């Protein structure tokens, strides 16, 4: 019996070895999948409800597949693409609160990498360099 548990522990350990593990994208897929699956119960149209159920199931399956995947490079690429796609809207929300807190500065998004750039107001026409991607942005402050 002692050996059984030792072996079991060993196989669990080797199973998780070299696996990608969970990341922000997997968690987002799982949470969104659960919300959609719960929401599908309230949808009256049966076809739509079924589609939502399948969609949520697929999202959760994909999240689990990513977690146990050994292709770490591909998973990292997906995560980067996901972050890139969502950084725009997330930064837009951030900028609204930044503008409120700090009316002395101008906040603009780098058109290339979507990083928020802080610019002093009232300097006229200036060119700023994005610290992240070195992209040059010309603007009037």
Segment near Zn ion (CB under 5 A); pick from 7-15, 27-35, 85-93, 110-118: 110-118
Q: Which residues contact 18 (CB under 8 A, 6 or more apart)?
A: 70, 72
Q: Which of 51, 108, 113, 139 binds Zn ion (CB under 5 A)?
A: 113
Regarding 91 and contact with Zn ion (CB under 5 A), the answer is no
- Whose structure tokens read 């610019």? 119
Residues 31-90 that bind Zn ion (CB under 5 A): none
Question: Does 117 sit near Zn ion (CB under 5 A)?
Answer: no
Smallest distance from Zn ion to CB 132, Å: 5
List the one residue from 84, 118, 132, 136 that touches Zn ion (CB under 5 A). Answer: 132
Q: Which of 52, 59, 60, 110 binds Zn ion (CB under 5 A)?
A: 110
CB atoms within 10 A of CB 63: 20
Q: How far apart are CA 16 and CA 3, in angstroms?
A: 20
Nearest approach in angstroms of CB 114 to Zn ion is: 7
Per rule CB under 5 A, is residue 128 in the interface with Zn ion? no
CA dihedral 17, 20, 21, 24 (to 10 degrees): 170
Using a 10 angstrom Cβ sphere, with 0-12 exposed, 13-18 middle and 19 or more buried, the burial of residue 9 is: exposed
Interface residue list for Zn ion (CB under 5 A): 110, 112-113, 115, 130, 132-133, 135
């Amino acid at each position: 019996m002692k050996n059984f548990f030792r072996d079991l522990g060993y196989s669990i350990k080797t199973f998780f070895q070299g696996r990608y593990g969970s990341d922000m994208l997997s968690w987002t897929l799982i949470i969104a999948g659960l919300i959609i699956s719960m929401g599908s119960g309230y949808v009256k149209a049966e076809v739509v409800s079924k589609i939502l159920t399948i969609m949520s199931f697929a999202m959760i399956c994909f999240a689990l597949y990513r977690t146990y995947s050994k292709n770490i490079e591909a998973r990292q690429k997906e995560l980067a693409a996901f972050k890139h796609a969502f950084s725009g809207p997330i930064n837009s929300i951030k900028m609204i609160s930044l503008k409120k807190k700090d009316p002395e500065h101008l906040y603009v998004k780098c058109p290339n990498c979507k990083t928020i750039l802080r610019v002093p107001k009232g300097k006229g026409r200036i060119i700023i360099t994005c610290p992240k991607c070195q992209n040059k942005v010309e603007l009037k402050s």
